[in-house]
Amino acid sequence: MDKKKDSDKHSEIDISIVEKAIAGDPIALAMVYDSYAKDIYRYLYSRVGNVADAEELTAQTFMAVIESLPRYRHRGYFSAWIFQIARNKAIDFFRKQRWELIDLPYDAAYTDEVTEQIIKGQAYEHLSKLLKNLKEDEQELIRLRFTAELSYVEIARLLGRKEDSVRKSIHRILERLYSQIEVQNV
């Protein structure tokens, strides 16, 4: 394995830490967990829509990471590998549940003004409806880019697509959402 830093923005984990985690070093495993847990939880929460299931899936993800680390082969994008495991856990969850939900976390406590809360709530509700109307693969691109905060390169690696294709797809989705929002505001 190459000793240089992993090139994703999430972990900034030195590859030697990944190697130590592979060898079972509990401190290195904790560093991997600390680097990814919050983003994986947010991604999973955006998929399942509730805290308990997101926490359970996050735990399952890291158990699978620990079990799979001995088979990990570094190719420059550790985050794509770890998010693929999280993504697989979400897919398994929906196979078992046979339902799907996309929802973004929303907390109206960000503002003191009741009027602003209502306006934000309506805008959120409209955006949520627009997101639900996207195709599943489009929803997944939005989740990976904005909820999991993966780079275009990381998403491309995760989905087995070209970076330029991912970038263009997300750009088209955002343009379409923006125009749909503008139509409502006219």
Q: What is the pLDDT of residues 13-46, one digit of tens each?
A: 777 888 888 888 899 889 999 989 999 999 999 8
Global pTM reads 0.60
Q: What is the pLDDT of residue 98?
A: 53
- Higher-scoring residue by pLDDT: 85, 9: 85
> Phi then psi for 14, rounded to 5 degrees?
-70, 140
Tell me: the pLDDT tens digits for 107-165?
Answer: 444 444 555 555 555 566 767 788 888 999 999 998 898 888 889 999 999 999 999 99
> Phi then psi for 74, rounded to 5 degrees?
-70, 125
Nearest-CA neighbor of 50 among 152, 128, 88, 58? 58
Q: Do residues 107 and 121 touch, judged by C-beta distance below 8 A?
A: no
Q: How far apart are the first and last CA of the chain?
A: 56
Neighbours of 95 (CB within 10 A): 8
Find the DSSP H helices in 69-162.
78-97, 114-132, 136-142, 152-159
What are the structural domains, with CATH classification, of the chain? 15-185 (1.10.1740.10)
